Amino acid sequence: MPSTDSIVDRIGARRAEMVEDLRRCVAIPTGHDHRPGLDEQRDFFARRLSALGATSTDHAGQKRPTWLLGGGSDLAPPHTVVHRCAGFDEMEGPRVLIAGHLDTVFPPDGPFREMEIQPDGAIAIGPGVVDMKGGLLVALYALEALHEAGVRVRWSFSFNSDEETGTYCSEEALIAEAKRHDVGIALEPALPGGALAIARKGSGQFKVEVTGKSAHAGREFEKGVNAVYAMARTLTAIEGFSDLERGVTVNIGPIKGGTATNVVPDFCEAWGNARFPDQEAAESLEQKLIALERQGIPGVKVHRSFNRPAKPETPEVRRLAMLAREEAERLGQTLPFEFTGGVCDGNVLQAAGLPTIDTMGVRGGGLHTHDEWVELDSLTERAALLAATLIRIHDDWGTGGSAESR
């Protein structure tokens, strides 16, 4: 079997090609559910993976709740595609699910569309360079290098299109795939300094609706019930739900209410997001939100969805992270561990029983801004790390019984 070092060398020799592929992918608009761009990007990876002998499976998407910020869509929900290595079902060894998302947060007709390499040649700026088109290429090049070297590991590679909007359309697909695998690796960008996230907070979305009674603000003010004032009182109560010492935060925004200053508003709505360190905190927050509801005028209705549970560090996650760290150190890289308040598809995978590490993507920063940047050397470095980690998992993880029995 070829050495890991030779596989690393194969990846390193393709740096210029990898940078050019990143430029090509970044130029494909995949934000705001832009279907033509998502289809083009999906096809780009499908062609490359099929050349490795991979087969693909489509999972139909589910509709998002209509009350979520941005609402639903008349289009069919985006589907999730999972590519599997040749002989996946017949092979021995641990089954590794590599999870990535095609979508970004940038509108297809916005001003931020192309990748620009900075004068020093070390940094590139562009929409999705780090979150996560660079990460997708890390996995693609790692798998190509393993294939070219004749090294067989047992992998699936999933592509969804709604991670940035909550994974509502692809949640069922990810849960189903989690139950078919033994180890999960998500391609979110590395934390600062190249750190690996081994624990994450959970996230919940909610919407508060307040119903009042309309009236003329001058002639019959006393006959009205101001929904905006009632919302303000409700939001003051929600502000108290945050507990920084416990790691619980609740954020509100945006808020909509009223039509004119001389009309007592009869309706107001506000959207919020909650972050929590564990399931106990999540359940406590949900109960507090439910307790806000009331009938009559003013009335309060709360919609909620806590679909991304907290992702704690478990013994299996620690073991998986240590395998990756040992390979990083052998390659002359560092891989510190950190806890983060961000959430991703890794939360969903691990909640379904799949031990997952989820910041195996590139190094960079400025996520979700027009300053989003990637450290170009990290393309080949993280691809090499992923290839080495996949080999290590194949050799040392062991099947540990069937995934379905977990």
The string of pLDDT tens digits covering residues 152-198 is 999 999 999 999 999 999 999 999 999 999 999 999 999 999 999 99
pLDDT average, residue stretch 29-44: 97
pLDDT average, residue stretch 288-307: 97
| pLDDT at residue number 115 | 98
Domain end call among 263, 281, 308: 308
pLDDT greater than 80 at residue 269: yes
Confidence of residue 329 (pLDDT cuts 50, 70, 90): very high
Domain check: are 160 and 18 in the same one?
yes
Confidence of residue 330 (pLDDT cuts 50, 70, 90): very high
Domain check: are 40 and 186 in the same one?
yes
Span 186-232, pLDDT tens digits: 999 999 999 999 999 999 999 999 999 999 999 999 999 999 999 99
Give the number of other CB atoms < 10 A from CB of residue 245: 5
Give the helix/strand (H/E) hosting 338. Answer: strand 337-340
Residue-number span of the structural domain to which 209 is assigned = 202-308
Confidence of residue 1 (pLDDT cuts 50, 70, 90): low
Strands 202-211 and 267-276: antiparallel
Domain check: are 146 and 295 in the same one?
no
Ramachandran region of residue 367, left (φ > 0), alpha (ψ -120 to 50) or beta? beta
Q: Taking the mean position of all CA atoms in its chain, how far away is CA 194?
A: 18
pLDDT average, residue stretch 349-360: 97
Domain check: are 338 and 208 in the same one?
no
Q: What pTM value is reported for the model?
A: 0.94
Residue 120 burial by Cβ neighbours in a 10 Å radius (0-12, 13-18, 19+)? exposed
Confidence of residue 406 (pLDDT cuts 50, 70, 90): very low
| pLDDT at residue number 215 | 98
Domain check: are 213 and 264 in the same one?
yes
Domain check: are 281 and 366 in the same one?
no
Domain check: are 304 and 320 in the same one?
no
Domain check: are 392 and 365 in the same one?
yes
The CA distance from 24 to 19, in Å, is 9
Domain check: are 258 and 330 in the same one?
no
| pLDDT at residue number 75 | 83
Domain check: are 237 and 209 in the same one?
yes
Nearest to 367 by CA among 48, 17, 78, 106: 106
Nearest to 98 by CA among 318, 345, 405: 345
| pLDDT at residue number 70 | 77
Q: What is the mean pLDDT of the chain?
A: 95
Residue 225 belongs to domain with CATH number: 3.30.70.360
DSSP code at position 132? I
Give the number of other CB atoms < 10 A from CB of residue 58: 10
Give the helix/strand (H/E) hosting 285. Answer: helix 279-291
Residue 171 burial by Cβ neighbours in a 10 Å radius (0-12, 13-18, 19+)? buried
pLDDT average, residue stretch 239-256: 97
The CA distance from 386 to 373, in Å, is 21
Domain check: are 296 and 322 in the same one?
no
pLDDT average, residue stretch 48-72: 93
Residues near 341 by beta carbon (within 8 Å), at least 6 away in sequence: 200, 201, 247, 249, 275
The CA distance from 271 to 331, in Å, is 46
Domain end call among 279, 308, 337: 308
Domain check: are 296 and 208 in the same one?
yes
Domain end call among 278, 308, 338: 308
pLDDT average, residue stretch 396-405: 54
DSSP code at position 401? S
Give the number of other CB atoms < 10 A from CB of residue 254: 9
DSSP code at position 343? -
Residue 38 belongs to domain with CATH number: 3.40.630.10
Q: How many domains is the chain partitioned into structurally?
A: 2
| pLDDT at residue number 320 | 97
pLDDT average, residue stretch 131-150: 98
